[in-house]
Amino acid sequence: MRAFFFRRSWRERVLLLVVLVVGVLIWLFAALDRTRAARSRWGGQASVLAEQGVWLASATTLQEQVQSRLAQVQQGRSLNANQLVGQLDAVVKRQHLVFRLDPPTTAPRPPVAIHSVSLTLEKVELGGLAAFTDDLRASLPLVNIEQIVITPDRRNPAQLDVRLKLSGLELLP
């Protein structure tokens, strides 16, 4: 390799050295980036482990809080998926709104089951939406609005198209 290098002219030697230095710099920066990424992953794992330790340390108190809150919920007020859809239908019809109600999905998480349903209200005014949410809160206390998307109607911006994702809580026997 040495003989190959010294047989070259000065210009070729300089060019070979420049190419070699550029290659070493590229490799060095790539290795530095990999080292930084690995170090940040290690730091991230340490914070995740610390957070898990906090949750595990407070697991008994959290379990006691859940049990005390579940004891406060009356068994007769929780709704299964069909009752949830029926009650939502009744509330929307009481408000005289145009709507579309999707079928519910259920996620059992003992000691409760969480039923989710999507509700679309079409061409509703802001006052009507406020009245609907007040009626919903009063008549179905175990139903939460998880997500709401409000878009103005294209023809009449005073009217709104509203998509709601609602979830209801059912106590499992």
pLDDT in tens, 59-101: 999 999 888 877 776 655 678 889 899 999 999 999 999 999 9
Tell me the average pLDDT across 139-164.
Answer: 91
As given in the structure block, the two tokens for residue 58 are 């407070």
The identity of residue 126, as a single letter, is: L
The residue that leads in pLDDT, 171 or 39, is 39
What pLDDT does 171 receive? Answer: 81
Distance CA 110, CA 93 (A): 32
pLDDT at 75: 57
SS3 at position 168: strand
Confidence check: pLDDT of 115 > 70: yes
What average pLDDT does this structure show over 17-24?
95
pLDDT of residue 165: 96
Average of per-residue pLDDT across 15-38 = 95
Angle at 23 between CA 39 and CA 16, to 5 degrees: 160
Torsion sign over Cα 148, 120, 134, 66: negative
Give the angle 146-51-167 at the CA atoms, nearest 5°.
15
pLDDT confidence bin for 23, thresholds 50/70/90:
very high
Residue % of the chain over a pLDDT of 70: 97
Which CATH code is given to the segment(s) 75-171?
Answer: 3.30.70.60
Confidence band (pLDDT; 50, 70, 90) for 28? very high
CB neighbours (10 Å) of residue 91?
20
Give me the pLDDT at residue 154, please: 87
Average of pLDDT values for 111-133? 92
Rounded Cα gap, residues 115 and 144, in angstroms: 10
Q: 114 versus 110: which is more confidently predicted?
A: 114
Q: Which residues pair with 170 in a beta bridge?
A: 113
Consecutive H or E run containing 106: strand 105-109
98-118 average pLDDT score: 91
Confidence of residue 54 (pLDDT cuts 50, 70, 90): very high
Predicted confidence (pLDDT) at residue 116 exceeds the cutoff of 70: yes
Share above pLDDT 90 across residues of the chain, in percent, rounded to a whole number: 59
